[in-house]
Chains A and B, each alone.
Chain A
Amino acid sequence: MNFANLFFIYAFLPAVLLLYYVIPNIHYRNGVLLLASLVFYAWGSPVMLLLLLAVCVVNYFLGRGIGKAPGEKKGKVCLVIGLILNIGLLFGYKYLAFFLDTISLIPGLHVSVCKFAMPLGLSFFTFRIISYLLDVYWEKVKAERSFPLFLLFVSLFPCTVAGPIVRYQTIGESLRVRRASWSDLYVGFMRLSVGLGKKVILADHLYGITEYYFSGNLRSLTVTEAWFALLVYALYVYFDFSGYSDMAIGIARMFGFRFEENFRYPFVCTTISEFWQRWHISLGSFFRDYLLYVPIFGKMRIYGGLFLVWFSTGLWHGASWNYVIWGLYFGLFILLETKIGKKRMKKIPKLIRHFYTKIVIILGFGIFYFTDLGRMGTFFKSLFGLSGNQFVDTFSSTYMMNNLILVLLGLICIFPWVPFFQKKLEKRSWTLGIAQCVCGILLLALFVFASIILVNSTNQPFLYTQF
């Protein structure tokens, strides 16, 4: 099950909201949420629920073990076991086949392994558990004593499947004490509508354009088409991912949980470092807080730490070398900016900084998309006109025009209009009131409109080749 789905919006969510608010007691409310989360997780694959439960049981006891002796030997042992188990689980399901395929490239060595279906949200919940164990060890939080609450923390349905990587620090207290006010419901519905609109109206249709270009003959792309495709893909990834995060944050807010922001208008950045402080913030902060300062590189710790973080960032996104290259690509630019220094970077004219960051980001998405390095090479050749391809032709200009308004809408929506207008309107509460009213109605209309578009999601045009 995913959020951008009529069944979720008009069957699952109303049922959970109704049950949740009918019950006044927080413990029973948590019970409803826990049940809903387990049903959500087990929806397409009930067997994987057993894995999730097993992971939770083990980590619950490990957490308790760490909590009883943080910083001491017993705590350390529990932590190490926890890290090995969780990283091992992630490695086994997600990276083992990739690792063995890479080894098999060595002449004379051929190893293969059965690929198992990856449990839903594995990359997210293992990271949440790892952050929990480390936070308990570093005494940032106390170990959760209640297993049901720990299970709820791990399986909470708004963030299980596709993030954000919510830490126990963020919601630990809310598990026990929370009240969802009318404001929470208001903000929740607003975020859900925005997220749904981003996903259904923008991301899904931008994806169609992306696939039109990227799945075909890359040599036939004109230069203009290649750049257009790359731009559209960058927009698609942003709206898809941030849209989902918005929905997750909104739905959690409806139940009184306040997740931290995961995307903060990343395309307004003027440096690559700033981009990564605005893009998938929960992942970036995870690696910054738990990996950057791992003391294994000695004197080379700055470079080593950066390498480790960006190698891991890339690899986290997928078991393929292009993701690793993508991560290291950004790591290189961050290292470059670190060497230049913040002050000197600020002296570079803003326009140039904007141009530099957008080019780097967009080119980065070209690396991100192509898991086949050969096709990646072909694409980049077309991008820079090295395939003997034309700069533009009738087809490319017509197709781009046929999708221009959608792309322009996407480009407009990447800017922080909401915080901008909010600041202006907050000066007078009557303007804020009207804005809230208008905004609310518009987002309600957006919600209904996105729902109508979702009706088309199972559309199967009869591919009529006989005539």
Chain B
Amino acid sequence: MDKETKFQTKNQNRFLHAIRIVIVCLFLVVLLSGAVLLIVLDRPTYSQDEKRVLAKKPAFTFSSLLRGEYTEDLQYYYNDTIPYRSVFKRFSDKMMSYKGIAQDDFYIDIPKDLPSFPPEESSVPTPILPTPDGSGSAAPDATNVPSVTLAPTKPNVNEFTQNQGIVTYQKRAMELYWGSKASMREYALSLNTLYTRKPDLNIWSMNIPTASAYYLPPSLAGKYGDQAQDCAYIRSLLHPDIHYVDVYNVLKKHTQEDIYLRTDHHWSYLGVFYAVEEMMKQGDLAVPNLKKDYTTKSKDGNLGSFYLYFDQKHLVNYPETFTWYEPKFSFDAAYYSYDTMEVVRTSKNKMFFYYSEPFYDMVNYGDSYLAHIQTENQTGRRLAVFKDSFGNALAPFLAKGFDEIWVIDLRYYKGDAYAFLEEKGITDVLMASCMFTNAGYKSVYYKNLFVS
């Protein structure tokens, strides 16, 4: 090799060597600055996204050190409480959302370990009309109510998983639905029993379909439960004097509007409004007017329960605008603990709290408390709403027409429902729950309140 070539080779090697040094230094900067920042920066203690308290720094003891618990807990604490955790989580979800192709934003998350369905129905149908001893009856006198066989009520067994998975289609996530006839009959029995025991009450049945009733992709049509059919079935079982709010057909007229949340399993407050509007018209009550009676507020860039709790990571690409309607009229609100039945919070002219994700839960503290709303109306009508989370959002609109509203979560209320209705002078009872409750194992909550 001549001198010039040797010189060139030597310079080239130096150049390569210099590049390597620079790259190594960059790595060391990242590593060391990461190490320092993760020590210096404040660590979060609660994850709003995951709705849990994050790991706590473990206390040192020799025994926990010897068992290896201290070091494992320390490592877990370090990994669990990374500063700006939510930001990094959303960024990584966004990146990983590009791992596939989704035509029409069609994503599937259907567990492969589901038991086979349709679920096996009990061969003994649940009766839907009560006898004085609660054991069931023969064919009723009322018309439009099918005959039933004499049999004791069989408890609903959670013999299948109602939630058949989650699909996302055209940027909307929804749960796939299947309903149990036995559960629907149990629901009807509960309302019919209430009617039998308290015929003076106005009883309302609001069976709320979920988004998959309207927005399933064409390829899945007919493969799962039909919520329209199931709603009609429930309606056919109810005593004719029970007021049925046909939410399915009301919302069907508005499917082009934002009546369901896209990233949350609940309906939107607009959908709630339409359902309540229908109920108020039926009951000759004051019908709420969105423009006159409410202030419309909205917030962009929100992600609901499907992203936060159901781990549908791709939804990070489709945040939605959440709109809610705050009443302009006056009222007082009191919130009771389900454990002590004592007031723990009060509010004046405000029903919306927790302005953070998931926004659906912001009204009346979600499922947390039994709520009592007292308005300035003087109609003599007092309403008790027995609900699941789909019924949370009704109160702001119902408050337009009723003097008082009690919002009771049928899953958490432990008292005597009949005594409650008597004590509070209730004139109207509304059962407001989604089809997963009315046609699933959770219908037993209605039975526990009104039949047992």
Residues of A whose CB lies within 8 Å of any CB of B are 1, 5-7, 9-11, 13-15, 17-18, 42-47, 182-183, 185-186, 189, 205, 212-213, 215-217, 220-221, 394-395, 398-399, 401-406, 429-430, 432-433, 436-437, 440-441, 444, 447-449, 451-467
Closest Cβ of chain B to A133, distance in Å, is: 30
**B411 contacts chain A at the CB level, 8 A cutoff:** yes
A433-B92 CB under 8 A given contacts A9-B31, A402-B108, A467-B265 = no
Residue of chain A at shortest CB distance from B165: A395
Q: A182-B20, A433-B19, A437-B19 are in contact. Are A402 and B101 (CB under 8 A)?
A: yes
Interface flag for B310 (CB, 8 Å): yes
Evaluate contact between B75 and A7: CB separation under 8 angstroms.
yes
Is B96 in contact with A453, judged by CB distance below 8 angstroms?
yes
Residues of B within 8 A of A464 (CB): 265, 305, 309-310
How many Å lie between the Cα of A221 and that of B24 in the bound state?
48
- The residues of B that contact A7 with a CB separation of less than 8 Å are 74-75, 78-79
**Min distance, Cβ A26 to any Cβ of chain B, angstroms:** 21
Q: Chain A residues near B411 (CB, 8 Å)? A: 466
B280 to chain A, nearest CB (A): 25
Per a CB cutoff under 8 Å, which of A6, A44, A456, A467 touches B436?
A467
Please give, as numbers and ranges, the residues of chain A lying within 8 Å of B321 by CB-CB distance.
Answer: none
Measured CB to CB, the closest approach of chain B to A175, in angstroms, equals 24
**What is the number of residues of chain B that contact chain A, defined by CB distance less than 8 Å?**
79
Please provide the chain B residues from 98 to 147 with a CB less than 8 Å away from any CB of chain A in the complex: 98-103, 106-108, 110-114, 116
A461 touches B113 (CB 8 A): no
Is the CB of B354 closer than 8 A to any CB of chain A? Answer: no
B82 & A455 in contact (Cβ 8 Å cutoff): yes
Complex CA–CA separation, A402 to B19 (angstroms)? 40
The 6 closest A-B pairs by CB, nearest first: A216-B112, A440-B23, A464-B309, A429-B12, A406-B99, A402-B100
- Across-interface contacts of B17 in A (CB, < 8 A): 182-183
The residues of B that contact A436 with a CB separation of less than 8 Å are 16, 19-20, 23
Contact with A along B62-105 (1 / 0, CB 8 A): 00011110011011101110100100110111011011111100
Q: Beyond the given A183-B17, A429-B15, could you list 16 further A-B residue pairs with CB under 8 A, ordered by the A residue number?
A: A10-B38, A43-B72, A44-B72, A182-B24, A183-B20, A186-B23, A189-B23, A189-B27, A221-B112, A399-B108, A404-B100, A405-B100, A429-B13, A440-B26, A453-B95, A464-B309
**B170 interface contact, C-beta 8 A:** no
Whether A458 touches B55, Cβ cut-off 8 Å, given contacts A1-B75, A14-B31, is: yes
Contact present for A462 and B52 (CB under 8 Å): yes
Q: Which residues of B pack against A, CB within 8 Å?
A: 9, 12-13, 15-17, 19-24, 26-28, 30-32, 34-35, 38, 50-52, 55, 65-68, 71-72, 74-76, 78-80, 82, 85, 88-89, 91-93, 95-96, 98-103, 106-108, 110-114, 116, 163, 219-220, 265-266, 305, 308-311, 314, 367, 388-390, 411, 434, 436
Chain A proximity of B5: nearest CB distance (Å): 12
**Contact A405 B98, beta carbon cutoff 8 Å:** yes
Does more than half of chain B's interface fall in helix, strand or loop, or is it mixed? helix
> In whole angstroms, what is the CA distance A45 to B305 when docked?
38
**Complex CA distance for A463 and B26, rounded to whole angstroms:** 41
CB distance from A4 to the nearest CB of B (A): 11
CA A403 – CA B98 in complex, angstroms? 9
Q: Nearest Cβ in chain A — how far from B103, in angstroms?
A: 7
A453 touches B99 (CB 8 A): no
Known contacts A7-B78, A458-B76: does B309 contact A46 (CB below 8 Å)? no
* Interchain nearest-CB distance for B410 vs A (Å): 11
Q: A5-B79, A403-B99, A437-B23 are in contact. Are A455 and B108 (CB under 8 A)?
A: no
Residues of chain B contacted by A1 (CB below 8 angstroms): 71, 75
Determine if A10 and B31 form an interchain contact, defined as CB atoms under 8 angstroms apart.
Answer: yes
A398 in contact with B107 given A11-B35, A444-B23 (CB within 8 Å):
yes
**Which residues of chain A come closer than 8 Å to B103, judged between CB atoms?**
401
Contacts of A185 in B (CB 8 A): 20, 24, 27
Residues of B within 8 A of A10 (CB): 31, 34-35, 38
B310 and A457: CB pair below 8 A? no
Contact B110 A395 (CB under 8 A): yes
The reply to whether A449 and B20 form a contact with Cβ atoms under 8 Å apart is no
